Amino acid sequence: MTDIKKDIAKNTRWYRKLHRYVGSWLLLIFIIIAITGLLLGWKKHSGGIILPDTQKGSSTNLSEWLSVDSLQTLAQQAIHQKLPGYSTTLDRMDVRPDKGTVKISFKDHFYEVQVDGASGEILAIRYPFQHQQWLCKTWVYHSSRTGLIISVYFGLLALV
What is the per-residue pLDDT across 101-153, written as a single tens digit (0 to 9) for each?
999 988 887 788 999 999 999 998 887 655 444 454 444 555 555 555 555 55
Task: Please give the Cα distance from 74 to 78 (Å, whole number).
Answer: 6
**SS3 state at 129:** coil
Integer angstrom CA distances of residue 119 from 30, 71, 101: 46, 9, 10
Mean pLDDT comparison of 17-31, 32-46, 122-136, highest-scoring range: 17-31
The whole-model pTM stands at 0.62
Residue-level pLDDT at 145? 53
Residue-level pLDDT at 148? 54
Confidence of residue 22 (pLDDT cuts 50, 70, 90): very high
Measuring CA to CA, which residue among 77, 146, 85, 156 is closest to residue 115? Answer: 77
Measuring CA to CA, which residue among 77, 107, 115 is closest to residue 89? Answer: 107
What is the per-residue pLDDT across 57-116, written as a single tens digit (0 to 9) for each?
888 888 899 999 999 999 999 998 988 888 888 888 999 999 999 999 888 877 889 999
Residue-level pLDDT at 23? 95
Judged by phi (left if over 0) then psi (alpha if -120 to 50, else beta), residue 120 lies in left
Cβ(128)–Cβ(114) under 8 Å?
A: no
Q: Where are the alpha helices (DSSP H) in the chain?
A: 3-42, 68-82, 133-136, 139-146, 148-159
**How long is the chain?**
160
